[in-house]
């Protein structure tokens, strides 16, 4: 995915790519209240332990922390409330089938604004084991060393 003039990335969940093996990605809209949008534009988003779940034919984003917007004191809502994600019925059905498989979950990878609308990229993911994480780190270090060797010669 490329960043262009119509796409402004607000936050990336870097930990998700370390903790999970991402099998597929889906773009979804987010249903937000006014102060939440302003806070997101200011960068007040934290992915700490956030995940998505399909419930009753709808996709819900749980535990995403959007900081309260200072100037909207009374209009602010609960910072970690469950938020509805906007997807087509067919996409929701596909996600429901995939997450019913053993060990698969929906993880938010990135939040951004596209043409003024708040969007989230969800990843259909499988949790990594400790040895998988070590293998990834080792492979990344070897790639880094190889690039340095090529630059030096």
Residue spans of the domains in the chain: they are: 8-128
pLDDT for position 30: 92
Rounded Cα distance between 58 and 52, Å, is 10
**Bridge partners, residue 51, by sequence:** 62
pTM summary value: 0.77
Displacement of CA 61 from its chain's centroid (Å): 10
Rounded Cα distance between 26 and 95, Å, is 9
Mean per-residue pLDDT, 79-88:
90
Burial class of residue 83 in the structure, from the number of CB atoms within 10 Å of its CB (0-12 exposed, 13-18 middle, 19+ buried):
buried
pLDDT for position 53: 92
25 phi/psi in degrees, rounded to 5: -120, 150
The pLDDT-based confidence of 59 (bands split at 50, 70, 90) is very high
pLDDT for position 5: 61
Q: Which residue has the higher pLDDT, 47 or 132?
A: 47
pLDDT for position 28: 94
pLDDT for position 92: 93
pLDDT for position 2: 53
**Bridge partners, residue 60, by sequence:** 53, 84
Whether residue 27 is predicted with pLDDT greater than 90 in this model: the reply is: yes
- Three-class secondary structure of residue 46 per DSSP: strand
Domain 8-128: homologous superfamily in CATH: Small protein B (2.40.280.10)
The pLDDT-based confidence of 116 (bands split at 50, 70, 90) is confident
pLDDT, the chain, mean: 86
């Amino acid at each position: 995915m490329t960043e262009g003039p119509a796409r402004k990335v607000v936050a990336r969940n870097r930990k998700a790519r370390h903790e999970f093996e991402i099998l597929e990605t889906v773009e979804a809209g987010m249903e937000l209240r006014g102060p939440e949008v302003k806070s997101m534009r200011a960068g007040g988003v934290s992915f700490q332990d956030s995940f998505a779940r399909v419930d009753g034919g709808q996709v819900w984003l749980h535990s995403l922390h959007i900081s309260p917007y200072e100037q909207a004191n009374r209009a602010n809502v609960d910072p970690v409330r469950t938020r509805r994600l906007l997807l087509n019925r067919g996409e929701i059905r596909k996600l429901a089938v995939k997450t019913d498989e053993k060990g698969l979950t929906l993880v938010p990878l990135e939040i951004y604004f596209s043409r003024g609308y708040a969007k989230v990229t969800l990843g259909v993911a499988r949790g990594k084991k400790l040895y998988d994480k070590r293998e990834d780190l080792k492979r990344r270090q070897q790639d880094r060393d190889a690039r340095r060797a090529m630059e030096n010669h």
